[in-house]
Structure 1
Amino acid sequence: MSITVSYLCLISQVHLLSYQDMFLLLFTIALLTAGSDAIADYSQYVKVFSGTENGGNNFPGVARPFGMVKLGPDLLYVGTDSYSGYLPIGNFSGFSMMHEQGTGGAPKYGTVAQLPLVGTISNPLSNITVGRQAPDQGSLGYYRSITKQNVTAELAASSRAGAYQYTFPAASTTNNVLIDVSHVLPSFRGQGLGQDYAGGEFTIMPDGHYEASGVYNNGWNRSPNWTIYSCGYFNSTPVRASAFTGPISSSGTVISRSSSIPVGGMYTFKDSTVFSRVGLSWISKAQACQNVQEQIPSNMSFAEVVQGTKDAWNSQILSKITTTTTNSTNLQLLYTSLYFMNILPTNRTGENPKWESSEPYYDDIFTLWDLFRCSTALLQVIEPAIYEEYIRSMIDIWRHDGYLPDGRSSNYNGRTQGGSNADNVLADAFVKGVRGKINWQDGYAAMVKDAEVTPPNTTPPDPMAPDSSTREGRGALPDWLQYGFITPNFTRSVSRAVEYAYNDFSLSQVAGGLGKAVDADKYLNRSRNWRNHWNNEASVLGFNGFVVPRNLKSFQEVNILNAGGYWMDPYYQASSWSYSFGDIHDMARIIGLMGGRERFLGRLDTTFTPGASGTPGRVLFDSTNEPTFNVPYLYNFINLPNHSVNRSRSVAKSYNTSPTGLPGNSDAGAMHTWLLWNMIGLYPVTGQTTFLIHAPWFESLTIDLGGGKKLQVTSSGSDGNGDRNIFVQSVKLNGQTWTKSWLVWDDIFKNGGTLHFELGNSMVVWATGELPPSPASGPGQLVIRPDDGNANVPQVVRIPSKESGARRLRSFMW
């Protein structure tokens, strides 16, 4: 099917009936029909309010792909954090240009804000809020709110500038736009994560436009001071324009403060319609003015800004995956997921205030702990040029900031939730042949620093995890290097160990590819150290063997099924049950430790069995957090991929495009990307070239790989919508019968290819080939032995270090 613009769909999607709305819609249609080369409009399937409630925290405002500006409403409801600015309840505190997408933790940004107000305002900078008249409306590239004062605020954006269009009540002659430099998104969590305003400057220039700067700090990543600059213009001549400090009016037009006293300004108009253009910059006010003049010049209409955003999404992102399906529900899921996974990170090339470089610069990486499992792998597939820039940017951050990032925002690397997971992203790019302008010697050096140099603790230490740095690197590295495991002296000891092992595996892959054989062997060996947390005597639900906390003498008892771990706990955001499946690079060893194929199968089945834990209806699988992303697909490691289909489709049912349609935080699109891979019928194994095969949703799905290459995934025997007949009967790869439950990058991605599935309504054994790779489980793994017959205590042994000839302490599980 060729998807084209549907004007009826546009009207039904936005649900706008006012005069100005109909004018905008007709103007947009005119733009779309003006040229014969109009691209297909996939944006009509994007549901911008999907996942905005119930903890999904999606950003429903307006943004270009990877754009600096993310313009949307900021709602204040005391006691409730508005992570991406939006809440379905509360009062408007402003409409700001900076937000994150789908994050948890605590709100970030909510800066560079305007707020339309009617009537006389005596104290403009007194934290004014205004209620909501009706539910907000929006579509891709367009957002609309109506305040209790009956002011309509419409929003649009380019990548580095934003457009506000205000329609005031016809009878009102005192129409104000308030600019509050001190405005930020607050946090009510009580964990010291609230943002602070540290001073600012606001100037009304002789021609009437304003220039401002603000200094802010803290938020989820505990960032020190950062400065943002803005430059705003209005298309109407104000009755008056005043600058203010604090709650009292100032007689001057230039306000400058180095303290935290709020500054800002207010423009008052008689016009009922006011159009404002605002530029954003991390460099200077002059750059902010240049950004707005270049991207939203004075002769550009609001409708043209809206259409420019639709065109950018259609051409750069949405058109990369096309399908013949006519199932509107699945089309909405497909394109809504593609949309939300590509709002972050932020491309700030040329807008880095910390150093000058010819390399690209990306920020707002929230966070690689969430993204390395699925998102970065798909970004490489659909946006290879962006992906290469992303890798180069991370390496350049290491060059200048000292470490690779993990949870970077506002030019600050914090926070690291577990391992140094940028290592996994770099390794994934390397093994899949990403080269271009990447300096891989520097990339490897950055990874080695993560693996060998403990980052200094922050000052003051993070109160939620004071034992070591949460900014970057591997804070628990001293234990990892000395013992080969992590003691409870460090928070998140077990989940960090699981992740450090995977990080070391990633290092071994790059080392091997660069011809560093000694390093490759060293880090592959270290990647097995997760086993030192394995206690065969730990038991629950009839299954023995789990990763648990331990010290130098003994294992510690924990609640294996408790998934409520956080910063101070042995496990972060998942249970021992879940983390015991974590190190997929050593999966053959995991299966052996779990008792072999049948016991492994039983444990996987129990993971998805309602009530297995003793709580009626509850399953052990946690679809709300990323550590369990791979679990539904682990059946492939015992050649039962149709079981993977069954379990993953069950998980996928928890996704829809309603406001409550995500099982957990979007986490910068991580959840959406898991769903997209489920639609494609593959699951990426990060740091390897391996993709696990399950089953696609569509009869035909085509992925544009760039450079004229395409991957076509087709199926026959299904109902055409992916709802029934989901089980694979046979597979053909590039026209040849395929009997392995996995494939590698070169098979279908390097040069393009075809993957065809015959589907049916029953499970059959089609995967009879060799099992998926388990690189750390192969020849050369260390011999394991009991400690003098005491089968409950790990044996600490000394082995020669191949790289130095010295003898270094290592601990290996009995």
Structure 2
Amino acid sequence: MFPGVVPEPHSMVKLGPDVEDGTTDAYSGYLPSGQIWGFSMMHESGTGGAPKYGVVNQMPLSGNFKNPLLDLGQNRTINDTAEVGYYKSSLANGIDVELAATAHAGMYKYSFPAGENSIVVDVSHVLPSFRGLGWGQGYAGGSFELTKDGYTGSGIYNNGWNIAPDWTIYFCGHFNQRPKRMRTFTGHNESLTTYDQTSLTNGTYRQGGVFTFDAKNVTSRVGISFISTEKACNNVAAEIPKGTKIQALVKKAQAKWNQQLFQKVTTTETNTTVLSQLYSYLYGMNLLPSNRTGENPLWDSTEPYYDDFFTFWDLFRCSTSLWQVLQPTAYEEIIRSLIDTWRHEGWLPDARSSNFNGKTQGGSNADNVLADAYVKGVRGQVNWDDGYAAVKRDAEVTPPNNHDPVAPDASTKEGRGALPDWKEFGYIAPNFTRAVSRAVEYAVNDFSVSQVAQGLGLKKDHKKYIERSRNWRNHWNPKQKSLGFSGFMVPRYAKEAGFKNNSFEYPYDPLQCGDCYWDSPYYEDVPWSYSFNAHHDIYHLISLSGGPETFVERLETFFKPDIREENEAYGSTIFNPGNEPAFTTPYLFNFAGRQDLSVKYSRHAALSYYNAGKSGLPGNSDAGAMQTWLLWNMIGLYPITGQTTFLIGSPWFEHLVVDLEGGKTLTITSKGGNRETAYYVQNLKVNEKAWDQSWVTWEDVFANGGRLDFVLGEEPVRWANESLPPSPASD
């Protein structure tokens, strides 16, 4: 994840170090080892695929420096240090660099050794990719002009993980000390050809400026904008005026994080390790997306504008629902922004960065986000007629193929590329990549469309899409066996496909998914995992799996160690906590009347794969998705997307209060338990009334506030004896 300066939740500026070791993609700029070769103002956080941004850069150098086209990288003499709103690096050349920022501007504070020192501003600086997949970023030219106290200009960039066309960022920089000398440079550096920069329109062309100082302490203020150089200058003038002290920016950033987020979650907990996890995960889940309201270069609109959704495939399962709880105002703005993107570009994004949709890993999962917001009462200034038109387009119109080299069969830019098979056959044949995982997600997408249709009184559409949401069943082969169980989601051939007409691929190993990537039948997880993913139709899934008792056995097998050698990083279980398709699986025991087992396996995952250290996440942060999973585990609830249902787990705290805004709160208490051993629910009261079902709804505890009072213990108890959680698509 990104460890640099993010001055407020969802800030446009993310100012931090860019580190290179010559072999490893630094997705968020940072690597624990390697050389720093710049400090840039835009980054993603916790994303995979390939790096994005690393633009508007400065790099300090000591001594008699002449050639800015040389390798400028510097080792660090000690570990970098950071806190909210502040970052510091000490370089081997004797220069200390301190960073702070605001939403649209950044501050660099340099402490130089005696003598001449220089700052190089390289407009062509981007984060490189070494993966060889064609996803490296390109520099397509720009401008750079000297001013009396600094510089202005712009850079044009392209490609990156979402295969974006040219986009432009403008900048405006000032130095508090007048440079002894300043000059511009242009040139070529052949060493850049080792990078995966296949889309560079100017080869390895570079340009920028060099500013040389005698002063020991130099401060630089830089504004950025997607609109114009003038706006970049206005941004830095308004947010970091001349004379601003770096510590003042740090205090302002910390105040914003406290006011907008941290103080909304309070607890009597005193264990500093647990508190570190709680608040660092709240921080990590709110770095993306980027609020670019007022900075949309593509169309004029009075609607909010957010970018850097990386990606809803990662976020829809639990992150977006927690945004609604913790930041309802920002969440409504995000929903409005998504709909406005559809108005002007014709499609909702599943992923979006640098003002461009792409990549769609599975389904059109913004549909799920909109449906989740709708059923949980998000109204305000949202135009839900337009919102429904947007999700219905995803359900009915096949997007044009963008001919992505890693998946050339259909669009990966937006929408549902495999929609022709889905509409004709009710399943997706292997001529489409990621066929089975797409089918699972398309089913959920159709369920989401049905829920908005139902709320808007569109009965025919509701019936149509609820029926289509059951088409995941057409990939279920009851004869497929694995580990003593029968029935799994497997590939299925197209009708009239020769001797394989309409048949399943059989036998198929449900423990394998090929390379589990873009060209495989399953994306980032195995058939075992995807065969648990029809959460909107879970009771039909349980029936196909052999009934509740067998379903429980299947689930427990999913979490057993030593099942498969290939997954040694996660204790050789089939369960992979580092990928999102298995996020909900530990909680599915609730649907079979075994809430105690949901607590057992979700708590085991939380304690085994998460910690407060450097390896505190089980994989990429995925724009905060990993952090959000753990936060829901701490709270003791888990959301089912597109429904008002929250499955009950077990809380970590004796007393936790969540500010829901508008004078409403959710209070969670527990007695008799502890985080590591005594976490089984013995009994529960909801809003001071005895509760005997393993789920609550949005209306129970969030819509108007609420209270959950748990009694916990070391031994499992079958306390939830009443109705099971709903399954709206099950007939």
Aligning the two structures, in what range does the TM-score lie when normalised by the shorter sequence? over 0.9
| Structure 1 equivalent of residue 193 of structure 2 | none
- Say if 1:125 and 1:264, in contact at 8 Å, map to a contact too: no
| Structure 1 equivalent of residue 535 of structure 2 | 584
Q: Which amino acid aligns with 2:505?
A: Q
| Structure 2 equivalent of residue 234 of structure 1 | 175
Q: Which amino acid aligns with 2:302?
A: S
Pair 1:669 & 2:627 matched: no
Moved more, 551-560 or 314-323: 551-560
Distance 1:178 1:614, change over 3 A: closer
1:600 corresponds to which of 540, 544, 551: 551
Secondary structure at the residue paired with 2:634?
helix
- Say if 1:104 and 1:665, in contact at 8 Å, map to a contact too: yes
| Structure 1 equivalent of residue 38 of structure 2 | 94
- Say if 1:70 and 1:97, in contact at 8 Å, map to a contact too: yes
- Say if 1:454 and 1:478, in contact at 8 Å, map to a contact too: yes
Secondary structure at the residue paired with 2:522?
coil
Pair 1:213 & 2:154 matched: yes
| Structure 2 equivalent of residue 776 of structure 1 | 729
Q: Which amino acid aligns with 1:608?
A: F
Summarize the alignment of residues 512-551 of structure 1 with structure 2, pairs less than 5 Å apart. Answer: 512-551=454-493
- Say if 2:129 and 2:135, in contact at 8 Å, map to a contact too: yes
Distance in 2 separating the partners of 1:586 and 1:613: 28
- Say if 2:350 and 2:366, in contact at 8 Å, map to a contact too: yes
Pair 1:649 & 2:603 matched: yes
Distance in 2 separating the partners of 1:211 and 1:479: 51
Pair 1:758 & 2:699 matched: no
Q: Would you identify which runs of 4 or more consecutive aligned residues in structure 1 move more than 4 Å?
A: 257-260, 614-617
CA apart distance, 1:360: 0.2
Q: Which amino acid aligns with 1:643?
A: L
Pair 1:483 & 2:394 matched: no
| Structure 1 equivalent of residue 195 of structure 2 | none
| Structure 1 equivalent of residue 520 of structure 2 | 569
CA apart distance, 1:137: 1.1
Pair 1:555 & 2:499 matched: no
Q: Which amino acid aligns with 1:623?
A: P
CA apart distance, 1:467: 0.2
Distance in 2 separating the partners of 1:369 and 1:259: 34
Q: Which amino acid aligns with 2:55?
A: T
How many residues align? The count is 707
Secondary structure at the residue paired with 1:134?
coil
- Say if 1:498 and 1:579, in contact at 8 Å, map to a contact too: yes
Distance in 1 separating the partners of 2:477 and 2:471: 13
| Structure 2 equivalent of residue 225 of structure 1 | 166
Pair 1:167 & 2:120 matched: no
Pair 1:416 & 2:351 matched: no
2:206 corresponds to which of 262, 271, 282: 262
| Structure 2 equivalent of residue 390 of structure 1 | 334
| Structure 1 equivalent of residue 498 of structure 2 | none
Q: Which amino acid aligns with 2:410?
A: S
Distance in 2 separating the partners of 1:416 and 1:633: 27
Alignment gaps of 5+ in structure 1 = 1-56, 249-256, 779-814
Secondary structure at the residue paired with 2:42?
coil
Provide the TM-score with structure 1 as the length reference: 0.86
- Say if 1:714 and 1:756, in contact at 8 Å, map to a contact too: yes
| Structure 2 equivalent of residue 145 of structure 1 | 89
Deviations 1:96-137 (A, max 9, x none): 000000011100000000000011222113342222222111
Deviations 1:241-282 (A, max 9, x none): 11111169xxxxxxxx99463110011111111111100111
Q: Which amino acid aligns with 1:185?
A: L
Distance in 1 separating the partners of 2:657 and 2:489: 41
Distance in 1 separating the partners of 2:419 and 2:399: 9
- Say if 2:171 and 2:225, in contact at 8 Å, map to a contact too: yes
Summarize the alignment of residues 588-737 of structure 1 with structure 2, pairs less than 5 Å apart. Answer: 588-613=539-564, 617-653=571-607, 654-719=609-674, 722-737=675-690
2:696 corresponds to which of 730, 735, 743: 743
Summarize the alignment of residues 179-328 of structure 1 with structure 2, pairs less than 5 Å apart. Answer: 179-205=121-147, 207-246=148-187, 259=202, 261-328=205-272
- Say if 1:59 and 1:100, in contact at 8 Å, map to a contact too: no
| Structure 1 equivalent of residue 308 of structure 2 | 364
CA apart distance, 1:194: 0.5
Distance in 2 separating the partners of 1:407 and 1:741: 34
| Structure 1 equivalent of residue 194 of structure 2 | none
Distance in 2 separating the partners of 1:718 and 1:278: 51
- Say if 2:5 and 2:101, in contact at 8 Å, map to a contact too: no
Distance in 1 separating the partners of 2:677 and 2:328: 33
- Say if 2:2 and 2:29, in contact at 8 Å, map to a contact too: no
Moved more, 518-527 or 556-565: 556-565
Distance in 2 separating the partners of 1:478 and 1:667: 30
Distance in 2 separating the partners of 1:745 and 1:641: 19
Q: Which amino acid aligns with 1:629?
A: F
- Say if 1:125 and 1:180, in contact at 8 Å, map to a contact too: no
Distance in 2 separating the partners of 1:133 and 1:196: 31
Q: Which amino acid aligns with 2:510?
A: I
Pair 1:76 & 2:20 matched: yes
- Say if 1:126 and 1:247, in contact at 8 Å, map to a contact too: no
1:404 corresponds to which of 329, 348, 359: 348
Distance in 1 separating the partners of 2:249 and 2:509: 54
- Say if 1:73 and 1:94, in contact at 8 Å, map to a contact too: yes
Deviations 1:525-548 (A, max 9, x none): 000000000000110100000000
Distance in 1 separating the partners of 2:421 and 2:106: 49
Distance in 1 separating the partners of 2:533 and 2:3: 30
Q: Which amino acid aligns with 1:696?
A: P
| Structure 2 equivalent of residue 114 of structure 1 | 58
Q: Which amino acid aligns with 1:574?
A: D
CA apart distance, 1:63: 3.6
Q: Which amino acid aligns with 2:658?
A: I
Distance in 2 separating the partners of 1:284 and 1:574: 43
Distance in 2 separating the partners of 1:227 and 1:65: 24
Alignment RMSD, CA only?
A: 1.3
- Say if 1:65 and 1:343, in contact at 8 Å, map to a contact too: yes
Distance in 1 separating the partners of 2:397 and 2:40: 40
- Say if 2:6 and 2:287, in contact at 8 Å, map to a contact too: no
Q: Which amino acid aligns with 1:446?
A: A
Distance in 2 separating the partners of 1:325 and 1:59: 25
Q: Which amino acid aligns with 1:620?
A: I
Moved more, 195-204 or 259-268: 259-268
Deviations 1:660-710 (A, max 9, x none): 111011000000000000000000000000000011000011000011100
Distance in 2 separating the partners of 1:124 and 1:343: 32
Q: Which amino acid aligns with 2:84?
A: L
Secondary structure at the residue paired with 2:107?
strand
Secondary structure at the residue paired with 1:113?
strand
| Structure 2 equivalent of residue 798 of structure 1 | none
Deviations 1:296-316 (A, max 9, x none): 111211110111111110110
Summarize the alignment of residues 423-438 of structure 1 with structure 2, pairs less than 5 Å apart. Answer: 423-438=367-382
Distance 1:777 1:213, change over 3 A: same
CA apart distance, 1:614: 6.6
Distance 1:755 1:530, change over 3 A: same
Distance in 2 separating the partners of 1:278 and 1:395: 32
Distance in 1 separating the partners of 2:345 and 2:614: 39
Secondary structure at the residue paired with 1:262?
strand
**In terms of Rg, which structure is larger?**
1
Identity %: 57
Distance in 2 separating the partners of 1:685 and 1:275: 49
